[in-house]
Amino acid sequence: MSEVPRSARYVVIGGGIHGLSTAWHLAERLGRTGPFKRGDVIVVDKNGVGAGATGIACGVVRNNYFQPAMRELMAHSVSVWESDPVAFSYNPVGYMQIAPDVMAADVAKIHEEQRAIGYESVLIEGPDDCTSYMRSMFSDWQAGNISVVLHEKRGGYANNVGSLRGLERKARNAGVEIFEGVRVTGFTTSGGAVTAVETKTGPISCDQVVVAVGPWVRDFWEMLGLSEDVDVKGRDGQLYRRPMWTYWCLQEGTVEVPPDYFLTDSGEMPPVLHVDTDAPLIDDMDGSLVTDQLWGIYYKPDLYFGGVQGGGVPYVVDKPAEQVNVDPYGPASEDYALGEDFIRLWTSALAHCHKRFEGKRPNFKKESSGGLGCFTPDSFPVFDTFSENAYVIADSNHGYKMIGVGALVARELLGESQPLLEPFRFSRYAEGRLHPVSHSPYPWS
């Protein structure tokens, strides 16, 4: 590793999807619009590129959001994925939301608003039509209590590590310098602004810092002297004091099957499938009841993971945020290992949806995916400036698919306010400008 510089115009902390995307777009714009030299933009990461949350992301790219602001932001990000699918290891296979009657109105609204922004999708309504549509792709489709299908023709999934290598190449080619093994320990401030990033190898003076650290945002929030609690104006007009950060454990795994095991009847790669239903879920191995409550899973055939990969609804980590240990990171860590309850639910749910997965639980293998997600009070991102010149990207676990956020942040750093980011300012909590909530069982919906 080359020697870490003692100064840089822009210091980006985090070598994941947001840090690399921001650095790449920032260097490109600086190179086009003004004086710029290699090293004006640097990225530092305590381990290395892709060593954190992005490196174990399941890779799903979708626009399936009930919240208009999220939907528009995701449409922008999908366009970035589509701009260079080879470099980003992106597979544009599409995405399907498959849901029960209780979610039908929400899904129909998503479709209506996707049409309004020109995002191509097809809506199928009614149990019989939904079954026919699904069986036109999968003759063994057998999920119950399905009333609506939203088939997004764009979106799909990408290889987590491959996409980061593509971003890394683009950033380096644009003049970004990346320093791995550099642990940030704090900030030096003067007059309210950050003047230097403190590291174990010494301070780096800077004009601007970008915090893009995924689930470690809690620690940098504290370094910036920001409160661990926040006032949130509820929909009833009252102010409530809420923790700024809550951790959820994302549960994901893989059923190890041959590459051609889960294709459509016509032999094509299927879309990413997300199924929510309130049909009773029966254990396909012993016939016992798994749950009679609303449940959901997502899954896709994925050569990178060596089978059909996906996950289910995460669970809240039952600790105050300040006590959660995000090192070591990942579902294989001692504190947050995948439980048998999840394995039973996810494999039973696959069998509920497709006959071909009946009896496949012995093929389940624990992959390095999922891990811990750090959520904001309303489970949606915060993109904002603190301490005058510290831009914080707190993705609230929406991170990987949001590759385009870096392009928008880069423009804001250069003085161009971005309307797509306005709904995600920190001030929305105290002002009560909260995003609408759907009937989905997932916290990020």
Q: Has residue 12 got a pLDDT over 90?
A: yes
Residue located via tokens 């709904």: 423
Q: Please give the angle made by the CA atoms of 338, 257 and 343, to the nearest 5 degrees.
A: 20
How many structural domains is the chain composed of?
A: 2
pLDDT digits (tens, 9 = 90+) for 137-158: 999 999 999 999 999 999 999 9
> In the numeric block, which tokens belong to residue 219?
């620690």
- Write a three-state SS string for 263-324: CCCCCCCCCEEEEEECCCEECCCCCCEEECCCEEEEEEEECCCCEEEEEECCEECCCCHHHC
Do 35 and 168 lie in a common domain?
yes
Tell me the residue range of the domain where 80 lies.
1-92+156-227+380-433
Do 134 and 181 lie in a common domain?
no
Q: Has residue 178 got a pLDDT over 80?
A: yes
Give the three-class secondary structure for 347.
helix
Residue 135 vs residues 128, 140, 267, 353: alpha-carbon distances, Å: 11, 7, 14, 11
Residue where one domain finishes, among candidates 375, 393, 418 = 375
Do 23 and 86 lie in a common domain?
yes
pLDDT at site 57: 86
pLDDT digits (tens, 9 = 90+) for 265-315: 999 999 999 999 999 999 999 999 999 999 999 999 988 888 999 999 888
Q: Please, which pLDDT band fits residue 439 given cuts at 50, 70 and 90? A: confident
Question: If you average pLDDT over every residue of the chain, what do you get?
Answer: 93
Do 223 and 287 lie in a common domain?
no
Do 285 and 413 lie in a common domain?
no
Do 259 and 325 lie in a common domain?
yes
Prediction pTM value: 0.94
Do 184 and 327 lie in a common domain?
no
pLDDT at site 437: 79
Do 79 and 210 lie in a common domain?
yes
Q: Provide the strand spans (E) within 78-220.
A: 90-91, 95-99, 121-125, 148-152, 156-158, 177-180, 184-190, 193-199, 202-211
Residue where one domain finishes, among candidates 331, 347, 375 = 375
Angle, helices 405-413/68-83, rounded to nearest 10 degrees: 100
Domain at 317, CATH number: 3.30.9.10
Distance CA 231, CA 240 (A): 5
Domain at 161, CATH number: 3.50.50.60
Residue where one domain finishes, among candidates 375, 407, 424 = 375
Do 110 and 220 lie in a common domain?
no
* Structural domain includes residue 408: yes
* Structural domain includes residue 139: yes
Residue 92: cis peptide before it, omega within 30 degrees of 0: no
Q: Has residue 317 got a pLDDT over 70?
A: yes
Report which residue type is found at 430: A
